[in-house]
Amino acid sequence: MQLALTLVGPEPGAAADALAAIGPALAGAQARVKEPRPLGPLALDLAVEAEDAAAVRRAAEAALAGRAVDVCVQPWNGRKKRLLVADMDSTIINVECLDELADFAGLKAEISAITERAMRGELEFEGALRERVGMLNGLPVSALERAYAERVRLNPGARTLVRTMGAAGARCVLVSGGFTFFTARVAEAAGFHADRANTLLEAEGALTGRVGEPILGRAAKLAALEEEAATLGASLSETIAVGDGANDLGMIEAAGLGVAYRAKPIVAAQADAKVDHADLTALLYFQGYRAAEFVSD
């Protein structure tokens, strides 16, 4: 089987410097390696002949331990995906929006602690969301606009990821356990074709402490991936999903390439690839895009 082993670093030369460590490890995994193919200053591809992709990935990750380089191992064919489904909070953007709203209510420490446990899979997502939103009862709706304007920023590479895949004909969908107020704005800023999220209920200019039902959680994210793929007439193998928290696990496990971005351990352990060092353009390199093909506006 021909595999693609992609190395991506946060700085020029990091991926190339890692080659010396990779070679002996792949030989030990009974893999034959062809000449590296540069994808840009930050990334390169290796064509690898091997029967056991999982063994190649384990060997590569072990060889790269302690190095600031991300690695992805997958079949060479079918790498470019037709559908991207991405989580928003702490993936496409830099913050957890609910935690930032909590800051305006003077409750960030309490609410962020619940968020952390939910994202680690220690709490049921839907119940944890209802609890946190309930604590924001009475918060002025104007706090949402302030939180977006003052706190929310696209993570490095987010816009390039979405714009490049979109320009190549892929559909890009933002799917969040957060709130439509934020996803609509983030989707427009990054270039997503559509967004799905929960709705914060309000009355007389303030939050009511309730969220619209049914809540979009882990099962709904998986359903979004499946529905969007079906609409495109694409198989799940033609999809890529990225996220960081436990409620992303369903879609990450089902996608053709499931990527954990700066993720909680429960997610990193199950994903096909991890991005711990590079920015979100790593997802483009994993698909075989060259830096010269990137689109940022």
Residues that are catalytic: 87, 89
Consecutive H or E run containing 63: helix 53-63
Which token pair is 193? 């074709």
The rounded distance, in Å, linking the Cα atoms of 88 and 177 is 8
Q: What secondary structure letter does DSSP report for 204?
A: T
The rounded distance, in Å, linking the Cα atoms of 190 and 158 is 7
Cα angle vertex 224, ends 264, 272, to 5°? 40
Which token pair is 198? 């929960």
The rounded distance, in Å, linking the Cα atoms of 165 and 223 is 21
Q: For the beta carbon of residue 91, count every other beta carbon within 10 angstroms.
A: 24
Reply yes or no: is the peptide bond before residue 24 cis, omega within 30 of 0: no
Beta-bridge partners for 140: 206
The rounded distance, in Å, linking the Cα atoms of 43 and 51 is 24
* Residue written as token pair 């033609």: 238
Which token pair is 232? 């495109």
Bridge-based pairing of strands 43-49 and 2-8 is antiparallel
Reply yes or no: is the peptide bond before residue 265 cis, omega within 30 of 0: no
CA dihedral 190, 194, 199, 204 (to 10 degrees): 70
